[in-house]
């Protein structure tokens, strides 16, 4: 066995409401991996005692704002961190109630994995469907369905299998890729970090084993070469008098020194002279590396341009179909104009049509309602003032995503996934 020195980063999202055991599960993961420390625990215990709670309320750990603690609800996305010898985990912990759909979408946008909790006594609820739909819409590559509170159904195999089957029926209507089911008891720790002694019938892995080993190197696109230009680096010093490089974070593909590339929108063709970092030159670079690239020829290249391979170009256009999640109190209607941000490019766009809105609990489409209010999800057609260089969100989450900004309030009002 090779020595494992490389710790990978895995981002996952959890969503849930007060009583489905989400906080207990996160607390359990942090406690059993020694990621909650004594002073944090003491502070939680003191607050719990003061409120007359019989047990330490682990949700106090994630509910960081005064309003959240006062109301006993999670309002905003909270980020939690823990690590093991194999991976560092970033949890985007989001509220599960329908009025916080926008926060679920935010948490899901950067996640490799979604953790969906189901209460073994209650089975599939409306909320479960909502979470699964958002995970599929945001194309989170891996889904783990934890069937929790197995202790309350006597660790019964049949109860577990019934829920697995029900979820499978629902998920068949969604576009989900990798789904794992794990029967757990967050309260007693069964199959969370330790294998359950009470569910010998379960032959799969524990949640922690799965989180540590799920294959994530395929989550990013390493096929289609895309480098959105962030800025150009020109030192103008004696030592680097003629130095000029194109800086950015690679959105997809693998770039190698000497490769033929093309610059969009100009269409100029050239070769990669070098891939530079402060630590020295690289032979190759891939997503999500931040690099600087020198090209053989000098062109006028700036922010918003994109470096691609000549034989693999993104779509170029101004009319885009997309799924959108509305994030703001000011409603979206056809004809509205917004600032659009896509990769490193900013432009203006107009909403040309609302194709349909989707009921995220039933997945039914409504083609007659043309106005999006906060938390609505549906399909729209927009036209941009300048052409965008894009891929479908399905193919590349980086080059297929956009945000809409209200030009009057400057707020981020919409999140779009290009079809």
Partner 1 sequence: MFSYNLDHLKALESESIYILREVASLCERPVLLFSGGKDSIVASHLAKKAFFPAKIPFPFLHIDTGHNFPETIEFRDRWVKSMGVNLLIRSVQTSIDTGRVTEEKGLFASRNLLQTTTLLDAIKEFRFDAAIGGARRDEEKARAKERFFSHRDEFGQWDPKNQRPELWNLFNARKGPGQHFRIFPLSNWTELDIWKYIHQEKIEIPAIYYSHSRKVIERNGQFLALADFIPLAPNEIVEEKIVRFRTIGDMTCTGAIESPAASIEEIIAEIIAATTTERGTRHDDLRSESAMEDRKRQGYF
Which residues from 229-248 bind partner 1, rule CB under 8 A?
230-231, 233-237, 239-240, 243, 247-248
Spatial CA neighbour of 136 closest among 360, 391, 303, 335: 360
Does residue number 222 form part of the binding site for partner 1 (CB under 8 A)?
yes
Distance (Å, whole) CA 144 – CA 214: 10
Residue position matching structure tokens 């989180």: 211
Does residue number 185 form part of the binding site for partner 1 (CB under 8 A)?
no
Tell me which residues in 352-411 interact with partner 1 (CB under 8 A).
397-398, 401-403, 405, 410-411
Does residue number 347 form part of the binding site for partner 1 (CB under 8 A)?
no
Residue 148 or residue 399: which is nearer to partner 1 going by CB?
399
Pairing of strands 178-183, 142-148: parallel
Does residue number 257 form part of the binding site for partner 1 (CB under 8 A)?
no
Residue 1 or residue 278: which is nearer to partner 1 going by CB?
278
Residues 229 and 306 sit within 8 Å (Cβ to Cβ): yes
Residue 89 or residue 181: which is nearer to partner 1 going by CB?
89
Cβ 216 to partner 1 shortest distance, Å: 7
Alpha-helix runs per DSSP H in 157-294: 157-171, 207-213
Tell me which residues in 261-300 interact with partner 1 (CB under 8 A).
276-279, 286-290, 292
Cβ 185 to partner 1 shortest distance, Å: 27
**Residue 18: both structure tokens together:** 């007060």
Residue 154 or residue 373: which is nearer to partner 1 going by CB?
373
Distance (Å, whole) CA 286 – CA 263: 18
Residue 187 or residue 342: which is nearer to partner 1 going by CB?
342
Tell me which residues in 36-55 interact with partner 1 (CB under 8 A).
37-40, 47
Residues 193 and 31 sit within 8 Å (Cβ to Cβ): no
Find the binder of partner 1 among 51, 81, 316, 318 (CB under 8 A).
81
Tell me which residues in 84-143 interact with partner 1 (CB under 8 A).
87-88, 90, 102-103, 105-106, 109-110
Residues 56 and 82 sit within 8 Å (Cβ to Cβ): no
Find the binder of partner 1 among 67, 194, 316, 331 (CB under 8 A).
67
Find the binder of partner 1 among 17, 83, 274, 347 (CB under 8 A).
83
> Which residues, at least 6 apart from 330, have a Cβ–Cβ distance to it below 8 Å?
406, 409, 413
Count, residues near partner 1 per rule CB under 8 A: 78
Does residue number 66 form part of the binding site for partner 1 (CB under 8 A)?
yes
C-alpha 268 chain-centroid distance: 34
Residue 162 or residue 303: which is nearer to partner 1 going by CB?
303
Cβ 352 to partner 1 shortest distance, Å: 22
Distance (Å, whole) CA 245 – CA 236: 12
Residue 78 or residue 146: which is nearer to partner 1 going by CB?
78
Residues 157 and 201 sit within 8 Å (Cβ to Cβ): yes
Does residue number 220 form part of the binding site for partner 1 (CB under 8 A)?
yes
Find the binder of partner 1 among 77, 153, 171, 214 (CB under 8 A).
77
| 307 phi and psi angles, rounded to 5 deg | -95, 125
Strand extents, DSSP E, 206-330:
226-228, 231-233, 245-249, 254-256, 260-264, 269-277, 280-282, 284-286, 290-295, 306-308, 315-326
Stretch that binds partner 1, among 4-12, 146-154, 193-201, 314-322 (CB under 8 A): 4-12
Residues 321 and 400 sit within 8 Å (Cβ to Cβ): no
Residue 80 or residue 198: which is nearer to partner 1 going by CB?
80
Spatial CA neighbour of 338 closest among 275, 396, 383, 274: 383
Cβ 45 to partner 1 shortest distance, Å: 13
Q: Say if residue 279 is exposed, middle or buried (CB neighbours under 10 Å; 0-12, 13-18, 19+).
A: exposed
Residue 14 or residue 106: which is nearer to partner 1 going by CB?
106
Residue 38 or residue 158: which is nearer to partner 1 going by CB?
38
Does residue number 73 form part of the binding site for partner 1 (CB under 8 A)?
no
Residues 211 and 113 sit within 8 Å (Cβ to Cβ): yes
Stretch that binds partner 1, among 51-59, 120-128, 314-322, 338-346 (CB under 8 A): 338-346
Residue 165 or residue 283: which is nearer to partner 1 going by CB?
283
């Amino acid at each position: 066995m090779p020595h494992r020195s490389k710790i990978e980063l895995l981002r996952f999202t959890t969503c849930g409401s007060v009583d489905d055991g989400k906080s207990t599960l996160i607390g359990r993961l942090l406690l059993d991996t020694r990621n909650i420390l004594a002073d944090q625990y003491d502070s939680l215990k003191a607050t719990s005692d003061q409120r007359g709670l019989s047990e330490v309320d682990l949700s106090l750990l994630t509910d960081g704002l005064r309003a959240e603690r006062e109301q006993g609800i999670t309002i905003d996305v909270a980020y939690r961190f823990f690590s093991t010898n194999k991976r560092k985990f970033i949890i985007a912990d989001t509220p599960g109630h329908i009025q916080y759909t926008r926060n679920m979408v935010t948490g899901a946008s950067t996640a490799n994995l979604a953790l969906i909790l189901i209460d073994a006594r209650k089975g599939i609820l409306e909320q479960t469907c909502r979470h699964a739909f958002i995970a599929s819409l945001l194309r989170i590559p891996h889904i783990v369905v934890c069937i929790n509170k197995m202790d309350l159904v006597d660790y019964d195999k049949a109860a577990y299998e019934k829920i697995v089957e029900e979820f499978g029926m629902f998920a068949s209507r969604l576009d989900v890729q990798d789904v794992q089911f794990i029967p757990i008891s967050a309260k007693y720790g069964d199959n969370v970090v330790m294998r359950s002694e009470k569910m010998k019938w379960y032959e799969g892995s524990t949640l922690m084993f799965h989180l540590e080993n799920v294959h994530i190197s395929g989550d990013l696109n390493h096929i289609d070469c895309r480098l959105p230009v962030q800025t150009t680096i020109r030192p103008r010093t004696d030592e680097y008098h003629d130095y000029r490089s194109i800086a950015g974070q690679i959105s997809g593909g693998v770039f190698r020194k000497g490769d033929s590339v093309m610059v969009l929108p100009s269409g100029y063709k050239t070769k990669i002279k070098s891939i530079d970092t402060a630590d020295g030159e690289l032979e190759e670079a891939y997503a999500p590396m931040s690099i600087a690239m020198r090209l053989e020829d000098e062109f006028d290249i700036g922010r918003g341009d994109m470096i691609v391979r000549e034989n693999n170009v993104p779509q170029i256009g101004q009319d885009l179909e997309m799924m959108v999640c509305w994030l703001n109190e000011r409603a979206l209607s056809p004809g509205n104009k917004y600032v659009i941000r896509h990769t490193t490019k900013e432009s203006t766009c107009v909403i040309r049509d609302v194709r349909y809105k989707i009921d995220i609990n039933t997945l039914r489409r409504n083609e007659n309602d043309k106005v999006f209010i906060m938390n609505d999800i549906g399909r729209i057609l927009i036209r941009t003032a300048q052409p965008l260089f894009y891929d479908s969100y399905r193919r590349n989450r980086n080059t297929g995503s956009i945000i809409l900004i209200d030009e009057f309030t400057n707020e981020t009002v919409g999140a779009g996934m290009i079809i």
